[in-house]
Amino acid sequence: MSAAPRAEGFAARQHVPLALLVVFLLASSPWLGMRKSIPADAGWVDYAHVGLGLAALALSLVYAYACLHGRRWRLYLPWLAGRAGGIVRDLAGLGRGRLPSAEGGGLYAALEGLLLLALLAAGVTGAGWLFVQGTADALAWREVHVLAARCVLGLLVAHVVTVSLHLLDFLRN
């Protein structure tokens, strides 16, 4: 068995656990009492967010490797390979009422790649905030972390919508 199918299977097994972690982290964020540092009276939600956030960072790094290793990064990050044509074609098709193809590195794959990058950014900035907590830099790290998490939320919604549209299109055919 070549490395590509093994990596795809490995990434597929990580997808649901990582998605569940991300949903918990996004859902718990409004109840966090953390600003410059973890407060002395922090509750279970604060500690669960920190602990599961670090777990999500580790899992997202492994997931990113499984998704992007070898030449697969060209599928999820086509603009880095100078292949934005599929994205442009899919956007033009949307303007004409056609759903993008789920294959071939077009708009759907680019959204998945952006979601993966935003997830990595949220994890790294969350860990950075944790490691500098209590310092003057903590609020800046937190601000960037919140921005990255909002990008994750927006791209996650777009991902769910595009997967749903793809499944609907698949069922109609």
SS3 106: coil
| pLDDT at residue 34 in the model | 72
| pLDDT at residue 104 in the model | 67
Domain range enclosing 77 = 3-172
| pLDDT at residue 103 in the model | 67
Nearest residue to 124 (alpha-carbon basis) of 54, 74, 171: 54
Q: Residue 158: which pLDDT band, with cuts at 50, 70 and 90?
A: very high
Is the per-residue pLDDT at 3 higher than 70? no
Share of the chain above pLDDT 90, in %: 44
Q: What is the pLDDT of residues 21-52, one digit of tens each?
A: 999 999 998 777 677 778 888 888 889 999 99
pTM of the model: 0.86
Are 132 and 138 in contact, with CB atoms under 8 Å apart? yes
Measured N-to-C along each axis, helices 3-28 and 138-172 cross at an angle, to the nearest 10 degrees, of 120
Lowest mean pLDDT across 12-26, 93-107, 140-154: 93-107
- In the chain, what are the helix, strand and coil shares in percent, each to the nearest 5? 75, 0, 25
| Distance in angstroms (rounded) separating the CA atoms of residues 166 and 90 | 13
Number of folded domains in the chain? 1
Structure tokens at 151: 């990008």
- CB under 8 A, 24+ apart: contacts of 39-45: none
| Distance in angstroms (rounded) separating the CA atoms of residues 28 and 31 | 6
Q: What is the pLDDT of residues 97-123, one digit of tens each?
A: 887 776 667 888 889 999 999 999 999
State the average pLDDT for the chain.
Answer: 86
